[in-house]
Amino acid sequence: MGGGAIYGNAQRPAQYPIPEPRNSPPSIRPRNIVLSSNVDGVLSYTMSGTAIEVRDLTKHYGPVRAVEKVNFSVQPGELVGFLGPNGAGKSTSMRILTTYLPATSGLASVCGYDVFQDSMKVRERIGYLPESVPLYPDMRVEEYLLYRAKLKGVERSVRLARLGESLEKCRIKEVRRRLLGTLSKGYRQRVGLADALIGSPKVLILDEPTSGLDPVQIRETLNTIKALGKEHTVLLSTHILSEVESICDRVIIISRGTLRWDGRLSDLAQEHPTYHLEIKGDGPELCEALQQISGVKEARVASQHEGHYHIEIDPQTNVEIRERISRVVFEKGMNLYALETKRKNLESLYMDVVLRPDSRTTSN
């Protein structure tokens, strides 16, 4: 039966019986999940309409909290960038989704199948490209891919067709007879991507697919992934912002093991701009005066150096307020050195939600 099961303490449910549905914590029951149980009485969940579902996902390594109560879902056909600095918990989350690691607690499901209870069903529906692609150097490209197709249960009658499709989509037809050990890093990455595709999975999970590639190889790999996004659900992990901006429609940002932002890049352009000004004078006093302006949501000191203050102003709406700001500065007898409008892009968003210690989870 397709579904998901809640598990805790990284132990098998048979060893730690799962409570009856009426006793299960309501905080980890998403609204689109239906409770049921199998013949062994194990509580499970059937999910509707999502390719990936994660609820309160937690993974601890002893005292280290690698992932802490992460929640998100990915709809079929989405190409989602999974962003975060090194050590943020991206790879750990992906290893749980691909059944390589058990979670400490929480719920994770792919195509309606729980990654713990139905790991084989999950593996049949995903293609996984790890950061370091494990290849057999003494095998030829097409030999390796046919071998992987057999391991993945691809019917013998369609293996050659699947091989041809994977070689074509990943642009590796010209090296199909080459030994894997003689390929460049870029070609090895593309062979790994072809491996992920050859089982015709519904979901592709790609962990740092451009790691170690040169600029030309990065562009070719990203173009391939963007094309694949038209036919598959793709979750792409990286810490390179430009890669996500070039191919993804939606971004999930994780930092220090927690989810910090989840939304669409197109929404950023709709957000109100931030005003940045540099003045010489009493910055805190000016901020108090600016707070009284109609249309100002918040004014704050961003930095200060030798009597010069950099102040950021968040407006309540898209109404132009630069003239009002300038008037207040001059009325206070302060010198205005700069006043500019900045709209939020992915880089500024990333800096806001990851690098600020007081960041909180937000979504659009």
- Which one, of 208, 12, 186, lies nearest residue 103 by Cα? 12
- Give pLDDT tens digits for 134-190: 899 999 999 999 999 999 999 999 999 999 999 998 989 999 999 999 999 889 999
The pLDDT score that the predictor gives to residue 212 is 78
Tell whether 141 and 66 lie within a shared domain.
no
The answer to whether residue 18 scores a pLDDT higher than 60 is: no
The answer to whether residue 203 scores a pLDDT higher than 90 is: yes
Instruction: For residue 352, count other CB atoms closer than 10 A to its CB.
Output: 16
Backbone φ and ψ of 161, nearest 5° = -65, -45
Please identify, among 240, 268, 296, the residue that sits at the C-terminal boundary of a domain.
268
- Asked if residue 131 lies in contact with residue 192, where contact means CB atoms within 8 angstroms, the answer is no
Backbone φ and ψ of 281, nearest 5° = 155, -155
Question: Crossing angle of helices 185-197/215-228, nearest 10°?
Answer: 10
Residue-number span of the structural domain to which 248 is assigned = 133-268
Higher pLDDT, 236 or 33: 236
How far is it, in rounded angstroms, from Cα 163 to Cα 24? 45
Residue 360, in any domain of the structure: no
Model pTM score: 0.72
Residue 28, in any domain of the structure: yes
- Give pLDDT tens digits for 21-43: 333 333 333 334 444 444 444 44
C-alpha atoms less than 13 angstroms from C-alpha of 6 in its C-beta half-sphere: 22
Tell whether 286 and 258 lie within a shared domain.
no
The pLDDT score that the predictor gives to residue 97 is 95
Residue by residue, what is the 3-state secondary structure of 270-299? CCCCEEEEEEECCHHHHHHHHCCCCCEEEE
Higher pLDDT, 163 or 214: 163
Strand residues in 201-295 grouped as ranges (E):
203-207, 233-238, 250-255, 258-264, 274-280
CATH number at residue 284: 3.30.70.1340
Tell whether 41 and 167 lie within a shared domain.
no
Tokens, residue 280? 């010489």
- Give pLDDT tens digits for 294-330: 888 889 998 888 889 999 998 887 778 888 999 999 9
Q: Is 169 helix (H, G, I), strand (E, B) or coil?
A: helix
Tell whether 34 and 101 lie within a shared domain.
yes
Residue 218, in any domain of the structure: yes
Tell whether 110 and 16 lie within a shared domain.
yes
Residue 302, in any domain of the structure: yes
Please identify, among 268, 288, 309, the residue that sits at the C-terminal boundary of a domain.
268
Tell whether 150 and 199 lie within a shared domain.
yes
Tell whether 280 and 237 lie within a shared domain.
no
- Asked if residue 202 lies in contact with residue 111, where contact means CB atoms within 8 angstroms, the answer is yes
Tell whether 302 and 223 lie within a shared domain.
no
Per the listing, tokens 């929480």 go with: 106
Residue 349, in any domain of the structure: no
- Which one, of 308, 309, 286, lies nearest residue 299 by Cα? 286
Please identify, among 206, 241, 268, the residue that sits at the C-terminal boundary of a domain.
268
Local confidence band at 47 (pLDDT 50, 70, 90 cut-offs) = very low
Tell whether 39 and 144 lie within a shared domain.
no
Residue 83, in any domain of the structure: no
Tell whether 139 and 69 lie within a shared domain.
no
How far is it, in rounded angstroms, from Cα 293 to Cα 165? 61
Residue 1, in any domain of the structure: no
Tell whether 144 and 233 lie within a shared domain.
yes
What mean pLDDT value characterizes the chain? Answer: 83
Higher pLDDT, 277 or 345: 277
Question: Crossing angle of helices 156-169/215-228, nearest 10°?
Answer: 130
Tell whether 62 and 148 lie within a shared domain.
no
